[in-house]
Amino acid sequence: MTTLPTVLITGASSGIGAVYADRFARRGHNLVLVARDKGRLDTLAARLQAETGVTVDVLRADLTQAGDLAAVEARLREDASIGILINNAGLAQAGAFVTQDAQAVDRLISLNITALTRLANAIAPRFAQAGEGAIVNLGSVVGLSPEFGMSIYGAAKAYVLFLSQGLSLELAPKGVYVQAVLPAATRTEIWERAGIDINTLPEVMEVGELVDAALVGFDRRELVTIPPLHVAERWEALDTARKLLLSDIRMTNAAERYRTTG
């Protein structure tokens, strides 16, 4: 009988991470759940073990803290049973760029960019050597749209998309699957923690629907999954336009419009 890979999920105590845990447990995967709130993790682990019979390990960690991040990296490097990483932990941003203090900026970048990258970097070499494995990075449609006004958060999520695309180009030939999931507003605690009233948002997706859609993309081995995008051709057109733009970049000379005439 084939043994399913263990799934390590960050930000697993609530919201998207907790639903990913539920769904993978019901598929028969053992889990390693990572978050700051050990009480919530223990409660979730006990429920999933009782309901599904899978093994659920709890790893309490604040991924903005160097020691905690290093401990999760070590688990990813050393635990050969882990075959799927769900890079879900993240912070949202409330207010304009000019209202953010240095501590808030640093914390968001530490979690949304640094921790996500370090964890992917910890496990990618082992996956590449094994010729299998999956890395799922949670981005956001905000990373496609500066018009939403969440400049730091959006920039971090744009990084997640770019990183996922780059990792896929490098790792897919080695048998490693990388998926970027781009939700829109989803009903989770991330908004309340950022000081944003979710009830002021015009449209919000329920978290179960978001994760179930993301898992359809996962099963299809999509590189970029955008559950709230109803016209898939829009993304395909954007990606095609990006590649066409690159074909028009010639590095020998500046474009004619930038050349002075006298």
Domains observed in the chain: 6-258 (3.40.50.720)
**Each residue of 130-181: pLDDT tens digit?**
999 999 999 999 999 988 888 999 999 999 999 999 999 999 999 999 999 9
pTM for this entry: 0.92
Residue tagged active-site, from 20, 153, 159, 177: 153
Q: What is the pLDDT of residue 163?
A: 98
Torsional class of 246: left (φ above 0), alpha (ψ -120 to 50), beta (otherwise) = alpha
Q: What is the pLDDT of residue 197?
A: 61
| Letter string b/e over residues 169-201, b meaning 16 or more CB atoms within 10 A of that residue's CB | eebeeeebbbbbbbbbbbbbebbeebebeeeee
Measured CA to CA, the distance from residue 182 to residue 201 in angstroms comes to 18
Mean pLDDT of 62-77: 98
Q: Is 153 a catalytic residue?
A: yes
Sheet arrangement for strand 177-181 = 56-60, 31-35, 6-10, 82-87, 134-138, 177-181, 224-225
